[in-house]
Copies of this chain bind each other. A is one copy, B any other.
Amino acid sequence: MLNGQAMRYLKNCWYQAGWSTELRAGTQLVRVIADVPLLLWRERSGRVAALLDRCPHRFAPLSAGVITDNRVTCGYHGLTFDGTGACVHNPHGGLSKALTVTSFPVIERHTALWVWLGTPEQANADLIADLSYIDVAPENARIAGYVPTKANYELLTDNILDLSHADYLHPTSLGGMMTSAKTTVRVEDEQVVVEWDARDCVPPGAFRTLIPPPQRGDIWIQVRWSAPAVMTLATFAAPTGTARTAQGTALTLHNMTPETARSTHYFFCNTRPYLTEDVDFSEQLRRALTHAFAHEDKPMLEKQQERIGDDDFWALGPVLLSVDAAAVRVRRILQHLLEAEVSG
């Protein structure tokens, strides 16, 4: 197994554990993140608790027990813990610090659930990426999704950082103009920004509402990455010559949360400031995105992972192209962050 031997994950960062809507009051969510099994549940107050899904006594999963508002009782021997992981009831003796179950800082923001696996004292909410565009988008103009994928999260990150793949993997819906677009990559602090600027091109299917045929158009896409794998994709598409505006720019989150060394929780959320009331456009866009991510990206990523197997990506000697510039920088930054965290 690669897990534990070779695969290390950044710990001091916020991972998206899910969408807020996945956790209605009184429900629970069990999700493995970076090899750590987590139990999340929503208390009556609305607050979300996140505990290691493993009782400290005999390692039964707490999720096999009973949750009552702000407490979970282990279904095996009845130890009861609150949302901070403190044991609040031990039917077999006294309470002690040792009986604590590991809890994780959890924050609900931008319609998503964020957990921190590292040193709790460093769990600064300001470190959550600013995704306020999700908050301000009207509900009809917000398309969120979840695509569990059997591939390492770095492969999924690479996929977004090199959108030239759209020309080959999504040729009729999203691609066609990416490879020939003017591409630039820059590093801003610890963010990596890559842009594609395609002028006077024939728009692919997903852009035909914005650039109705037979018109040609300008399409500009920017991906902004921050660790561990939060990417915001800004997209502007309009008839050739139109000036680029924020009002014409859609923003889409692509967030890759590692599950194990070979699987990823892929969360996406498309938002737009235009056509916000157009239900048909939303439905059509939802179908196009879901088809592309779940039925084109996901199978290719899983086949890619299968060919890589348990080998190290670099050890296989990938031949790098110009389109890999952003992905390579991101992999290097991640490597530095990991090394700093391990040594630091």
Chain A contacts to B: CB under 8 angstroms: 37, 53-54, 56-61, 64-65, 73-78, 90-93, 98-99, 158, 162, 164-165, 167-169, 179, 299-300, 303-304, 306-308, 313, 316-324
Determine how many copies of this chain the complex contains: 3
Knowing A167-B78, A168-B77, say if A307 contacts B54 (CB, 8 Å).
yes
How far in angstroms is the closest Cβ of chain B from A99? 6
Query: Which residues in B have their C-beta under 8 angstroms from that of A56?
Result: 317-319
How far in angstroms is the closest Cβ of chain B from A309? 9
B168/A323 in contact, CB under 8 A: no
B162/A60 in contact, CB under 8 A: no
A321/B90 in contact, CB under 8 A: yes
Knowing A92-B322, A316-B59, say if A304 contacts B98 (CB, 8 Å).
no
A304 to B318, CA, bound (A): 39
Query: Which residues in B have their C-beta under 8 angstroms from that of A59?
Result: 304, 307-308, 313, 316, 318
Query: Which residues in B have their C-beta under 8 angstroms from that of A92?
Result: 164, 179, 321-323
17 A-B residue pairs with Cβ-Cβ distance under 8 Å, sorted by A, are A53-B307, A56-B319, A57-B318, A57-B319, A58-B304, A58-B318, A59-B307, A59-B318, A61-B306, A64-B299, A64-B300, A76-B168, A76-B304, A77-B321, A90-B321, A92-B323, A99-B319
